[in-house]
Amino acid sequence: MNQQAPVKKNDEIYVHFEDLTHEGNGVAKVDSYPLFVPNALPGEKGKIKVVKVNKNYGFGKLMELTETSPDRVAPACPIYDACGGCQLQHLSYSGQLQIKYKQVKDVLTRIGKLENVKVHPVLGMDDPWRYRNKAQVPVGDREGGLIAGFYKHRSHDIIDMEACLIQQEQNDIVVQTVKKICEKYGIYAYNEELHKGTLRHIMARYGHKTGEIMIVLITRTKEIPHKKMVVEDILKAIPEVRSIVQNVNAKRTNVIFGDETKVLWGNEVIYDYIGNIRFAISARSFYQVNPEQTKVLYNKALEFAGLTGEETVIDAYCGIGTISLFLAQKAKQVYGVEIVPEAIEDAKRNAELNGITNVEFAVGEAETIIPQWYSQGINADVLVVDPPRKGCDETLLKTIIEMKPRQVVYVSCNPATLARDLRILEDGSYQTVEVQPVDMFPQTMHCEAVAKIMLKL
């Protein structure tokens, strides 16, 4: 790489876009110096203005396209340009699936050094809109009222939003309704700079199969002015509400939730189904956001696990036990481990709810609990991992290599850490057999994949 960048700030140049970054920016190269440009697609050509120059890469702004991609489409959402939520609305859905396939294939080769692994075409949605079952929106003040929506790109300015096209409509209705009711009772939004005001975020969760709704009001203060009336008005406006919860977060932080959660009205949980299994979901528990594709993903995980009914299975990072209970139907015994205590409470309740008795759940770090189980003589024929974006802890991977389950099923929401971890397993006598990407997050760059990994004999 040249010591000196080949472009200067404010240069206007013609470029050819070759690739797309994980953030969804087009990549153009000038003498091998990469420039990242929002809203440009691979295969396109155009004029850009250089807006930022770092040592090894820079950023540009698209001024004009001279050649457009056949996959370019008009974004369906009117606020797409300002909002940071979606990155791919300007690309056709088939183009999105191709990009995600390529992303998985590329990292497996580049990071995992796994050239020969079979990667299947991405399983996409028939209708890739209105799929999310959970909305979490920041609230702000405006002259005479409240706004609720999303942060403008790279800032904490809140843009008011009436509809989000990847949300299930009920969540839009909840956000609008709660905003109006809180406005009516003069509840102030939280002000980040002054650390004053009450309402920080509104969260809405919708049970896709049951139609049940949970509303969480995340507040700075323990008290909510006119709380009783707020609750009554919400119930009158949205009869499908089964649970209204308050979470108190008194800290100066970007983290949404605080430690204190209390029920204001109704149940502590709402219910939903994935396949034929019923799940109780509480405010703080992780639950997959795309229920339709979750079924596709879990069926793939189940298929990759190859269960006959005789196996002991460990589900690391089990959340509320979704995958554990899915697998328990086909296994002899399942052990699930998860770090969030409330999620394990939900997991136990979910086992009971479905009359499933061959599962046990433990609270703790997978990398701590699984070695303990191993030393107590609990071993697994099949081990499933579904870690957060940072991937598996190395201690856990080492334990897997020692325990030698005949099969590992890796469910991943980040192809880069998947590839890194597959390499570690490959170096420890495992072989990645196939990888199936599933599109859980249409219109965004996020990409989910499940891998089947076998012990080499």
Output DSSP code: residue 243: E
Q: Does 318 bind ligand SAH (CB under 6 A)?
A: yes
User: What single-letter DSSP state applies at residue 310?
Assistant: -
Q: Residues 89, 288, 414, 443: which binds ligand SAH (CB under 6 A)? A: 288
Does residue 317 touch ligand SAH according to CB under 6 A? yes
Shortest distance in whole angstroms from residue 316 CB to ligand SAH = 6
244 binds ligand SAH (CB under 6 A): no
Catalytic choice (86, 318, 413, 447): 413
| 386 annotated as a binding-site residue | yes
Give the integer Cα–Cα distance in Å for 122 and 438. 5
Residue 439 CA: distances (Å) to CA of 20, 127, 228: 17, 12, 41
Three-state DSSP state, 172:
helix
Cβ atoms within 10 Å, residue 232: 13
DSSP letter for each residue of 353-392:
HTT--SEEEEES-HHHHHHHHHHTT---SEEEE---TT--
Q: Which residue of 104, 244, 337, 449 would you call a contact of ligand SAH, by CB under 6 A?
A: 337
Interaction of residue 341 with ligand SAH, rule CB under 6 A: no
Enumerate residues 430-449 that contact ligand SAH by CB under 6 A.
none
Residue in this structure with the two tokens 């009869």, named with its chain if needed: 239
**In contact, 40 and 26? CB cutoff 8 Å:** yes
| Residue with nearest beta carbon to ligand SAH | 319
Give the HSE-up count for residue 157: Cα atoms under 13 Å, Cβ half-sphere: 7
Q: Kindly write out the interface string for residues 354-393 of this chain, putting x where it contacts ligand SAH by CB under 6 A and - elsewhere.
A: -----------xxx------------------xxx----x
| Cβ-based nearer residue to ligand SAH, 87 or 290 | 290
77 is catalytic: no
Question: Which lies closer to ligand SAH via its Cβ, residue 173 or residue 453?
Answer: 453
Using CB under 6 A as the binding rule, whether residue 319 contacts ligand SAH is answered as yes
Nearer to ligand SAH, 172 or 367 (CB): 367
Residue 167 is labelled as binding a ligand: no
* Number of residues engaging ligand SAH in binding (CB under 6 A): 19
CB of 120 to ligand SAH, least distance (A): 20
Q: Give the three-state DSSP class for 394.
A: helix
Phi-psi region of 58 (alpha: psi -120 to 50; beta: other; left: phi over 0): beta
As separate numbers, helices (DSSP H) first and strands (DSSP E) second, the chain gives: 9, 22
Residue 310 known to bind ligand: no
Partners of 349 in the β-ladder: none
CA-CA distance, 122 to 102, in Å (whole number)?
Answer: 10
Catalytic residues: 413
Residue stretches of the annotated binding site for S-adenosyl-L-methionine: 288, 317, 338, 386
What is the binding site for ligand SAH (CB under 6 A)?
A: 286, 288, 317-319, 322-323, 337-340, 343, 365-367, 386-388, 393
